[in-house]
Amino acid sequence: MAAIDGLPPLREVIASHGLSAKKSLGQNFLLDLNLTARIARAAGDLSGMDVLEVGPGPGGLTRGLLAEGARRVLAVEKDSRCLPALAEIAAAYPGRLEVISGDALEVDALAHLRPPIAICANLPYNVGTELLVRWLTPRDWPPVWSTLTLMFQREVAERIVAQPGSKAYGRLALLVQWRCEARIVLSLPPEAFTPPPKVSSAVVHLKALPEPRYPADAAVLERLVAAAFNQRRKMLRAALKGLAPDIEARLEAAGIAPTERAEQVSLEQFCRLARELAR
């Protein structure tokens, strides 16, 4: 049975183009178009937006993004075997899908798009985290993109939205939450993918704040948070002693007990300490 966009079901697409999943490229495909439409909807209202999709594969999510009304989709795919299948989607949506064949870590795809921009991807875990960190640390803030809607391993998604006092709380939570609103919008079991991965996954939606939640110098904050969580079991006066000779006094000036551990310190407190250290 043909799908609503008149294109064949994804199982047929995969069979006719010989897209057997490659482990080396982290290929776990989503074949249920209802599910890919839900992920596209989780990205918010896409009408009037340019969308960057990384790793379209056979195009399930791409079809969701186009059907949900994206003004234009630019998709970057490393596996050239997927290009003919993506060309069929481009033909069904004239002028709205462009595909770049290449490695998303090497292509400056955002330079090809016009704001407002949404980024949406179901990517291998290592590539996804690396791209996330890059998207969160542009030279200037706000970034050119408005939202990120990304699939991660459930455990990574939990680290992104973690709050103080939890095991998952750390550098990633602070990096994300300093400059974005972040929430988990969808959880998926391994069986949602073909082939199924070993662990569960979750889609995280991030919205860029117009400016960071609290003032702080980005480099100082990053150094501070890295030092604090590199030795997360230690008291901060010990974990941070390399950052300033009078670290106890600085911690107290920022309203943080020197005996506190990183896991208990809020984003606002870290930002206060970063300002204190930059003085």
Q: Which residues in this chain contact ligand SAM in the complex, by CB under 6 A?
A: 25-30, 54-57, 60-61, 76-79, 82, 103-105, 122-124, 127
Shortest distance, position 246 Cβ to ligand SAM, whole Å: 45
**Token pair recorded at residue 69:** 């009304």
Is 28 marked as a binding-site residue? Answer: yes
| Angstrom distance (rounded) from CA 37 to CA 181 | 22
> Which lies closer to ligand SAM via its Cβ, residue 82 or residue 254?
82
> Which lies closer to ligand SAM via its Cβ, residue 57 or residue 170?
57
> Which lies closer to ligand SAM via its Cβ, residue 25 or residue 238?
25
For residue 233, give the 3-state DSSP assignment: coil
> Which lies closer to ligand SAM via its Cβ, residue 57 or residue 143?
57
- 195 prior amide bond cis, ω within 30: yes
**Token pair recorded at residue 135:** 């998207």
Shortest distance, position 247 Cβ to ligand SAM, whole Å: 40
Other Cβ atoms less than 10 A from the Cβ of 202: the count is: 20
> CA Rg, the chain, in Å?
21
Contacts for 102 with CB less than 8 Å, ≥ 6 apart: 76, 77, 78
Is 34 marked as a binding-site residue? Answer: no
Binding residues for S-adenosyl-L-methionine: 28, 30, 55, 77, 103, 122
Binding residues: 28, 30, 55, 77, 103, 122
